[in-house]
Structure 1
């Protein structure tokens, strides 16, 4: 069996990830991945199942009103969930079924933990606000995961249309129909503050959108429960609002990206997107 190094494990990390994962999960997850890879024969799917089991334990703790225990188990569950992908990339043992299992397992964990949190606090207080809290968390999470692949498909269709139009223009230029227009010189101005910030984040492997599903889950199932019952409703409301704003921003960017390409007869791939 090959002996892997910590550098080998670091090479399996995503090029850019959430700040929560980069700073608060990966430093521990990478070392545990190294131990698992060198000392055990645990498979990525085995780690995914363990992550789901820990997530169910977290949901049970939340349902019983044990917020700190639930938060700790959720954190460990997410850390193990990060390890399965690293093991798959490190050993080349990833499978298509493993991708499905990881995706579905994440959704089950979030929905069950949201339900457990809502049930536990409603049982203790009788406040319907906690039922709305659980429903809101589940709906936001499901919307995000349903919306993301659809936006990706739209971008792919737009890129295909753009490539086709560029090919048509290139053919017209070669045929002499249209003279080649000189491109305007690139601006020599200094990078904007936004570009500087993005480059700084890229050096640290952090994604430019600082609130995503991972930070949302961390706020709802780790940070708020550790602070206490008093923090549940306000923290979830703020985190949910920020996540929704981020989704609206991403949809707006997708709209601008699609708008840049002139309208054309809808290809079959776009018809599938619209179904």
Structure 2
């Protein structure tokens, strides 16, 4: 910072995520970052207050969607995008100022899900009132279902990955302790994986995926260098296509159907990738358990011989 003020460079270095959705990187961050500088420097707005403002704008978007005419649909799309920009600003300010809280994370998550549900109902019920087509009501249920399923699934996948790494870490710690107990006179090496590669090497639970899709890593590196995550049609893009692209183009039904298909395909790809990770996890655990049994057996023999 210069002279105690946050700069645009501070926002980019601290506020930005290392990887983000391409919609956020290209269509949100350039605007949000320039709004953050005066907000952070000249106001006392908290991330939670900004989250509430974003939700209020989302309600305004829903009202516009419900009105149903093309002019109101475009207005609703613009309000939704600005609501999302504010929704991104709250997290960036929290990281920039270090004021994030557990409650703030919960509030942001709940308001996001409520905004999507309310806007989906307003947009598609409004179209149903104007046209009488039941298809719009079914599409509203589809949008809400896929959005809720995506974020619930993401949470459980995160817990599963964390649990796998936790179990591997625990087994490796046990193996390190056994090896250290076997040679108590030795000091811990500066680089443990040179002396104890199995007990200390970095966990890689994507070996199976990388071996099958070597081209993926080259493409991934390109996107990561530009801060774009490889999940190219995530929940964010799904929302933006339904609540911005669809209303502006006037192709609401077509956009929802196509977006839902692409969205599900990307979710299935993630599940496949996680399934391959579980295979790597099982192999890793089998190797560790075999090594632990081997060391314990050797130590048992040494104790018996000592007696």
Tell me the TM-score normalized by structure 2. 0.77
Larger-gyration structure (1/2): 2
Counterpart of 1:207?
A: 229
State the alpha-carbon separation in 2 of the partners of residues 131 and 150 from structure 1.
29
Q: Which residue of 2 aligns with 1:42?
A: 45
Offset of 1:29 from its aligned partner? 0.6
Moved more, 56-65 or 194-203: 194-203
* Residue equivalent to 1:269: none
- Indicate the residue corresponding to 1:165 in structure 2: 171
What's the offset of the Cα at 1:171? 5.8
Map Cα deviations across residues 222-254 of structure 1 (whole Å, 9 max, x no partner): 0111101xx111111111111111111212222
Q: Distance in 1 between matches of 2:197 and 2:116?
A: 53
Q: Give the unaligned 5+ runs of structure 1.
A: 184-190, 265-275
**In structure 1, what is the equivalent of residue 291 of structure 2?**
none
Equivalent-residue separation in structure 2 for 1:222 and 1:108 (angstroms): 17
Q: Give the structure with the higher percent helix.
A: 2
Q: Within 1, Cα distance between the matches of 2:98 and 2:111? A: 21
Aligned residue pair count: 252
Which residue of 28, 33, 38 maps to 1:30?
33
Alpha-carbon shift at residue 260 of structure 1 (Å): 2.4
Name the residue aligned to 1:106.
Answer: 112
Local SS of the residue matching 1:260: helix
> How do 1:14-25 residues align onto structure 2 when only pairs under 5 Å count?
14-25=17-28
Distance in 1, matches of 2:160 and 2:96, equals 32
CA deviations over 1:132-179 (Å, ceiling 9, x no partner)? 111100000000111111111111121122223334555666759xxx
Quick check: 67-76 or 38-47, which moved more? 38-47
Larger CA deviation: 158-167 vs 247-256: 158-167
| Matched-pair contact (CA < 8 Å) for 1:71–1:222 | yes
The answer to whether 1:2 aligns with 2:22 is: no
Q: Structure 1 residues 45-54 or 2-11, which shifts more?
A: 2-11
Q: 1:171 to 1:99 in 2, by over 3 A?
A: closer
TM-score (norm 1): 0.85
Indicate whether 1:223 and 2:225 are aligned: no
CA RMSD of aligned residues (A): 2.3
> Which is worse superposed, 164-173 or 120-129?
164-173
Q: What residue in structure 2 maps to residue 188 of structure 1?
A: none
The answer (yes or no) to whether the contact 1:161–1:261 under 8 Å persists in 2 is no
C-alpha offsets along residues 100-143 of structure 1, whole Å, 9 cap, x if unaligned?
11000100100000000111100000011111111100000000
Residue 96 (str. 1) matches residue 118 (str. 2): no
Match runs of 1:181-260 below 5 Å: 192-228=214-250, 231-260=251-280
> Tell me, which stretches of 5 or more residues in structure 2 are unaligned?
184-195, 202-212, 286-307
